[in-house]
Amino acid sequence: MTATSKIEPVLDVSNLTTSFRIGGEWYPAVRGISFSLQPNETLALVGESGCGKSMTALSVLGLVPKANGRVEADHIRFEGKDLSRLPDEEMRKIRGNGISMIFQEPMTSLNPVLPVGFQVVEALRYHQNLSRAGRERRALELLDLVKIPSAKSRFKEYPHQFSGGMRQRVMIAMALACRPKVILADEPTTALDVTIQAQILSLLNELKAETDMSMIFITHNLGVVAALADRVAVMYAGDIVEIAGVGDLFARPTHPYTEALLRSVPRSDRDTKTLYSIPGAVPPLTRMPKGCRFTARCELAVDICRKQNPPLDALAAGDAHSVRCWVRGNHDRAALKENADV
Ligand SMILES: Nc1ncnc2c1ncn2[C@@H]1O[C@H](COP(=O)(O)OP(=O)(O)OP(=O)(O)O)[C@@H](O)[C@H]1O
Ligand SMILES: [Mg+2]
């Protein structure tokens, strides 16, 4: 999607910064990121552990812990409202109704002492004007929709009687209960084995097409991204370092971090024993370096990288592919040369 597109995004996030207070100081876990989500689009957020993926989703939903967390944004626009300035009461109405979230571990999100069907019925209670019988009918429809076999006879069973994959289907049914415009899926398949993962992913794809939703899909697995996403935002240490259409990202990975992530994807034509893993680790919030945060792990780093964080710029004018890198990005080459130490 280009900047000149006339289509109104479903969700538009501008300059979002989410910080935590640690030892009396504030540290940004998400640093001034902007993105938008088009109707029926799937945007994947990828990056290693600790890059700020979950905090981005939780910030949109107003679920960042208030005790030591702070969310600032120019705006988080959804259906004409700025979610970053919405009172708690209004925000509660958005959650589940307009935007819902699917978490990684369904066992911790389902109540173990209540029958599964009852929990789906409850999810409908707060959001839709349906009679008890109507809610039960709709709950069954939803369990059928997420392809739970013999849903009717399993309605009264408890979460522990369901397999991990089936429990995740129940969570998806609950997230869909009120026909949200946007689903935030935070690593919804990581706890599942590979075959079940594939089934859940194709289910999400089907549902998205049928129900006309948009989705933000969070994962550290680029293989999953290829199967599911329309666009990809790669996050590193709180920054979006590259964003592009999925085909373009795989054909032209440009940020050294994206390249490294792609090299670490397991492939059937490669020996898994020699699987590449990116040396080093994401720095903790309290010890973020000045300049580009990937510098210490980057083979291409030059002097300016240590001094200044590069902007996220389009690779060419009007290009939907943007990269935040002094060496590979489309920046002022003269400034780079002047500062280079190689
Ligand atoms: N309540 C908190 N207090 C302080 N720091 C936090 C808190 N929650 C998260 N963080 C920090 O914010 C950063 C981003 O965390 P986030 O959970 O968004 O990462 P993530 O990309 O979702 O990682 P993962 O793949 O492990 O889920 C991390 O450095 C994390 O340690
Ligand atoms: Mg996370």
Residue 73 resides in a domain: yes
pLDDT at res. 268: 59
Kindly give the distance from the C-alpha atom of residue 52 to the centroid of ligand 1, in angstroms, as a whole number. Answer: 6
CA distance 33 to 160: 39
Q: Dihedral, CA atoms, 260, 262, 265, 271, nearest 10 degrees? A: -70
Q: How many CB atoms lie within 10 A of CB 154?
A: 17
pLDDT at res. 96: 76
CA distance 265 to 25: 37
The ligand 1 atom at the shortest distance from the C-alpha of residue 52 is 18
Closest ligand, as measured to the CA of 185: 2
Encode burial over 142-151: b for 16+ CB neighbours within 10 A, e otherwise: bbebbbbeeb
Distance from the first to the final alpha carbon of the chain: 37
The ligand 1 atom at the shortest distance from the C-alpha of residue 45 is 21
Answer with the one of 136, 156, 175 that is the final residue of a domain. Answer: 175
Domain check: are 142 and 196 in the same one?
Answer: no
Domain that holds residue 39: 11-98+178-339
CA distance 285 to 20: 9
Answer with the one of 175, 208, 224 that is the final residue of a domain. Answer: 175
Domain check: are 116 and 244 in the same one?
Answer: no
Answer with the one of 175, 208, 232 that is the final residue of a domain. Answer: 175
Distance (Å) of CA 309 to CA 51, 101, 122, 179, 214: 16, 32, 47, 40, 31
Among 16, 19, 20, 234, say which to mutate for ligand 1: greatest number of ligand atoms within 8 Å of CB: 20
With a 6 A CB cut-off, is 55 part of the ligand 1 pocket?
Answer: yes
Domain check: are 94 and 15 in the same one?
Answer: yes
Domain check: are 60 and 209 in the same one?
Answer: yes
Domain check: are 182 and 48 in the same one?
Answer: yes
Residue 198 resides in a domain: yes
Smallest Cα–Cα separation from 182: which of 78, 83, 58?
A: 78
Domain check: are 118 and 210 in the same one?
Answer: no
Closest ligand, as measured to the CA of 50: 1
Pair 177, 120: CB distance under 8 Å: yes
pLDDT at res. 199: 83
Pair 230, 245: CB distance under 8 Å: yes
Domain check: are 74 and 159 in the same one?
Answer: no
Residue 1 resides in a domain: no
Domain check: are 135 and 248 in the same one?
Answer: no
Residue 118 resides in a domain: yes
Domain check: are 312 and 225 in the same one?
Answer: yes
With a 6 A CB cut-off, is 65 part of the ligand 1 pocket?
Answer: yes
Bridge-based pairing of strands 11-22 and 25-37 is antiparallel
Residue 6 resides in a domain: no
Domain check: are 116 and 82 in the same one?
Answer: no
Pair 143, 151: CB distance under 8 Å: yes
Tokens of 128: 């839709």
Residue 335 resides in a domain: yes
Encode burial over 109-137: b for 16+ CB neighbours within 10 A, e otherwise: bbeeeebbbebbbebbeebeeeeeeebbe
- Whichever domain contains 232, its CATH number is 3.40.50.300
Smallest Cα–Cα separation from 12: which of 46, 41, 47?
A: 41
Q: How many domains does the chain have?
A: 2
Given 3-state DSSP classes, what are the helix, strand and coil percentages for the chain, each rounded to the nearest 5? Answer: 40, 20, 40
Nearest CA to ligand 1 atom 27: 49
Domain check: are 125 and 272 in the same one?
Answer: no
- Name the amino acid, one letter, at 111: N
Distance (Å) of CA 24 to CA 129, 238, 284, 333: 46, 20, 16, 40
Kindly give the distance from the C-alpha atom of residue 187 to the centroid of ligand 2, in angstroms, as a whole number. Answer: 7
* Average pLDDT of adjacent 10-residue blocks, the chain of 342 residues: 67 98 96 96 95 96 94 96 94 90 76 92 79 90 89 92 89 87 90 80 85 91 87 97 97 96 73 71 93 95 95 92 95 60 44
DSSP 169-196: HHHHHHHHTT--SEEEEESTTTTS-HHH
Domain check: are 289 and 333 in the same one?
Answer: yes
Residue 103 resides in a domain: no
Residue 5 resides in a domain: no
CA distance 47 to 43: 13
pLDDT at res. 271: 57
Exposure of 104 in the CB half-sphere (CA atoms within 13 A): 11
pLDDT at res. 342: 41
With a 6 A CB cut-off, is 49 part of the ligand 1 pocket?
Answer: yes
Nearest CA to ligand 1 atom 2: 20
